[in-house]
């Protein structure tokens, strides 16, 4: 039941390709467990496309695992996505951590790609089943409302058997999806109090279905910054969270030093979280590299030490 610390990226905050690969090398050689790329398409803020990043990391890193946090399956064809994931897992020698959710009805990605938001939950349910079966079965026949397959096969199969299938979302339907098809669960922007009942409900439902999920396959994230709460970027970050969440952003980030960060790690761990996606609160490539270097040198050893406790 390992405890691990990965790092999350949403906005492309590394300047250019050179800055990105310098950062990846730091993570790859610094003991970072995994990199998780957020999934956004239509956005004036620079963002990298999630599946493309997965493919790039397959060839551009050696040790890191990597996943999407989380990719919208309501927006993607599950057969094509299953094939992409299998290919990336093969070429990375088994380091992909696929993670999927429904996708927000408010996202402009749906309208811009001509994808209806209606039915996206059912499309996701069918898609999770299809991908899971294509990764493990030789001939898949499926008759759904949205997707139909007749003895479909993809080859090569993923290196990981079974290929992990992390699911995002905290609604009742997301809990059911995770318990039915998922091998792990990833929280969104939520604090420890938010995730605790979700993790408990997933464990209960999965046990009822006879497919309990490993304790160390429950993840959550928070923002971090080595610095002062008075730093302008922290104020801006908290204002962004307040606007997005509609409430004070208490428990969503840790600012200061290792003590403040580990206090929040312990809060989430007590709620059932074992995998952490830490998001640097930083502006520009230099700050991203600096904050990540401090995470590697100071924070990761403390989180890793929890495994020996």
CATH number of 4-308: 3.20.20.30
Q: Write down the pLDDT at residue 1.
A: 53
DSSP 213: P
49 is written with which tokens? 């496309």
For residue 247, what pLDDT is reported? 86
| For the chain, domain boundaries | 4-308
What's the length of the chain?
Answer: 309
- Dist CA 141 CA 152 (whole Å): 6
Per-residue tens of pLDDT for the chain, all 309 residues: 589 999 999 999 999 999 999 999 999 999 999 999 999 999 999 999 999 999 999 999 999 999 999 999 999 999 999 999 999 999 999 999 999 999 988 899 999 999 999 999 999 999 999 999 999 999 999 999 999 999 999 999 999 999 999 999 999 999 999 999 999 999 999 999 999 999 999 999 999 999 989 999 999 999 999 999 999 999 999 999 999 888 888 899 999 999 999 999 999 999 999 999 999 999 999 999 999 999 999 999 999 999 987
| Dihedral over alpha carbons 145, 146, 151, 154 (to 10 degrees) | -150
| 187 closest CA partner among 33, 51, 69, 53 | 69
Cα separation, 289 vs 55, in Å, equals 22
How many H helices and E strands in the chain? 11, 13
């Amino acid at each position: 039941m390992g405890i691990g610390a990965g790092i999350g990226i949403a906005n492309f905050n590394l300047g250019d390709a050179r800055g990105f690969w310098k950062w990846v090398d730091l993570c790859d050689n610094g003991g970072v467990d995994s990199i998780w790329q957020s999934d956004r398409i239509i956005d004036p803020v620079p963002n990298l496309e999630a599946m493309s990043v997965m493919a790039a990391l397959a060839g551009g890193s050696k040790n890191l695992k990597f996943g999407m946090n989380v990719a919208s399956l309501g927006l993607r064809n599950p057969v094509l996505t299953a094939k992409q994931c299998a290919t990336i897992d093969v070429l990375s020698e088994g380091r992909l951590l696929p993670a999927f959710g429904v996708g927000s009805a408010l996202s402009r990605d749906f309208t811009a790609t001509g994808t209806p938001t209606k039915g996206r939950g059912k499309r996701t349910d069918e898609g999770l089943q299809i991908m899971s079966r294509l990764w493990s079965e030789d001939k898949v026949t499926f008759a759904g409302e949205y997707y139909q397959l007749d003895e479909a096969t993809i080859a090569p199969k993923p290196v990981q058997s079974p290929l992990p299938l992390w699911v995002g979302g905290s609604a009742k339907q997301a809990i059911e999806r995770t318990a039915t098809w998922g091998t792990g669960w990833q929280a969104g922007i939520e604090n420890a109090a938010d995730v605790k009942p979700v993790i408990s409900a997933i464990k209960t439902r999965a046990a009822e279905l006879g497919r309990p999920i490993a304790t160390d396959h429950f993840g959550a994230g928070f923002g971090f910054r080595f610095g002062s709460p008075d730093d302008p970027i922290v104020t801006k970050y908290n204002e962004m969270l307040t606007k997005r969440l509609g409430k004070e952003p208490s428990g969503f980030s840790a600012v200061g030093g290792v003590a403040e960060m580990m206090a929040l790690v312990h809060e989430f761990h007590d709620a059932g979280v074992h995998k952490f996606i830490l998001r640097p609160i930083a502006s520009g490539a230099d700050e991203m590299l600096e904050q990540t270097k401090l995470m590697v040198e100071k924070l990761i050893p403390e989180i890793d030490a929890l495994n020996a406790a």
